[in-house]
């Protein structure tokens, strides 16, 4: 399956059926009078979030959706049949944007959440409604109204509590495999992760959180190098970021330079995302002797001027993973509790999330404008990576 996180579609609601002009014609009924029925309503178009779909690939190839028109009214005061609504299912985490105005119509972050994107036309009135003492045989009817037509943009951002940042081969995929049931590809070469992965981390029977792994960044990613920042937008919904650092890189680079490089690229993508709370996670500590680990950590913290939480882990041996996952769960629980108890803090967090969404959308649009225009959409689709997306 192709992982597709953006799509543009056209939706058109059905027109309402016309009202009917009709008169009773029955044996032995001298003055039948008008009996034209009303038209039926046109079908509306809804977009609904569903956990049963993980990608927008269906909307990359089928881009136009039309609801049926309502039926016209009939004689004997019979109302025309209303058309069925059309429901389009998208992954949880999809934002619906009107293309012509840029207005955000909905942010679908919960399973089953639904938004009306094109309202069906109303049915017209038959001539029975226009009978009066001075007009016993009205020939007036009202036609049905037209259904709405819209061009929409669908933007998918995965919904996760914790996001992973780091260079390729920093160990992000290994970490998500070690603490959850997700199975992203792991190998000893860069860019083994080509699409976001979600993993549910169960701390105990009733406590869990979702962690998101995105493809690693390289220098110049904000300008389109490597995989660019195409998938960095998926971190915009996370509540906390883990910055994973390989303390013993195979190419001999300085871990301090790794952290600085990622900070620079994230800042270029979204200043608000760069200001999000981040924890420093020093990975592959199994390659460092036990008596040197504390010293190594102190040197890195001092060189970076880091004042946030720091954890030492090994995804191979499992060292430090228990402490890390429980600390994350406690921090997320504390933040959720604060949002419930403190309305001012809740409003502040909501404003922050909205700002992140705006900056991420602007950064993605800027990156798209830098890319050369594709001559053929089908050719562009062929260039995408075939991936498997799992929760």
Range list of β-strands (E), the chain: 6-12, 45-50, 64-66, 86-91, 94-98, 104-108, 114-118, 149-156, 162-165, 197-204, 207-213, 240-246, 278-283, 310-312
Spatial separation of the C-alpha atoms in residues 201 and 181, rounded to whole Å: 8
Spatial separation of the C-alpha atoms in residues 306 and 300, rounded to whole Å: 8
CATH, domain 162-382, list 1.20.140.10, 3.40.50.300, 3.40.50.2000, 3.30.56.10: 3.40.50.300
Find, among 307, 332, 235, 231, the residue nearest to 274 by Cα: 235
- The whole-number pLDDT of residue 391 equals 34
- The whole-number pLDDT of residue 387 equals 32
Domain boundaries, the chain: 6-156, 162-382
At CA 69, angle to CA 63 and CA 74, rounded to 5?
170
- The whole-number pLDDT of residue 368 equals 59
- The whole-number pLDDT of residue 42 equals 97
**pTM of the predicted model, to two decimals?**
0.70
What are the residue ranges in the chain where pLDDT is below 70? 1-3, 182-195, 215-231, 364-365, 367-391
The tokens of 228 are what? 């660019």
- Topology match between the domains 6-156 and 162-382: no
Q: Regarding beta strands 94-98 and 149-156, do their DSSP bridges make them parallel or antiparallel, or are they unpaired?
A: antiparallel
- CATH H-level superfamily of 6-156: GTP1/OBG domain (2.70.210.12)
- The whole-number pLDDT of residue 137 equals 87
């Amino acid at each position: 399956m192709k992982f597709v996180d953006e799509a543009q579609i056209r939706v058109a609601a059905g027109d309402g059926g016309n009202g009917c002009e009709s008169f009773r014609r029955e044996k032995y009924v001298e003055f039948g009078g008008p009996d034209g029925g009303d038209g039926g309503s046109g079908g509306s178009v809804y977009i609904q979030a569903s956990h049963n779909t993980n990608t927008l690939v269906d909307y990359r190839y089928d881009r136009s959706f039309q609801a049926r028109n309502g039926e016209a009214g009939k004689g004997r005061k019979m109302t025309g049949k209303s058309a069925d609504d059309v429901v389009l299912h998208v992954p949880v985490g999809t934002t619906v944007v009107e293309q012509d105005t840029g207005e955000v119509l909905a942010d679908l972050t919960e399973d089953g959440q639904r938004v009306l994107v094109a309202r069906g036309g109303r049915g017209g009135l038959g001539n029975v409604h226009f009978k009066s003492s001075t007009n016993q045989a009205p020939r007036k009817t009202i036609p049905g109204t037209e259904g709405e037509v819209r061009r929409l943009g669908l933007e998918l951002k995965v919904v996760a509590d914790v996001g992973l940042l780091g260079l390729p081969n920093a160990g992000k995929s290994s970490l998500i495999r070690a603490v959850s049931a997700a199975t992203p590809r792991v190998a000893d070469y860069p860019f083994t992760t080509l699409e976001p992965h979600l993993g549910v981390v169960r701390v105990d029977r009733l406590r869990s959180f979702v962690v998101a792994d995105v493809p690693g960044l390289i220098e110049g990613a904000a300008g389109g190098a490597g995989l660019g920042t195409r998938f960095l937008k998926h971190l915009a919904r996370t509540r906390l970021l883990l910055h994973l650092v390989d303390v013993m890189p195979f190419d001999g680079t300085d871990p301090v330079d790794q952290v600085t490089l990622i900070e620079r690229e994230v800042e270029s993508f979204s200043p608000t995302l760069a200001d999000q709370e981040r924890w420093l996670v020093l990975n592959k500590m199994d390659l460092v002797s036990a008596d040197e680990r504390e010293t190594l950590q102190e040197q890195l913290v001092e060189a970076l001027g880091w004042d946030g939480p720091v954890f030492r882990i090994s995804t191979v041996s499992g060292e430090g993973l228990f402490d890390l996952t429980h600390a994350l769960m406690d921090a997320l629980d504390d933040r959720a509790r604060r949002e419930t108890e403190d309305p001012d803090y809740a409003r502040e967090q909501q404003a922050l999330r909205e700002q992140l969404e705006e900056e991420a959308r602007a950064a993605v649009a800027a990156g798209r404008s830098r890319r050369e225009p594709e001559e053929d959409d089908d050719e562009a689709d062929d260039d995408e990576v075939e991936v498997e997306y799992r929760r």
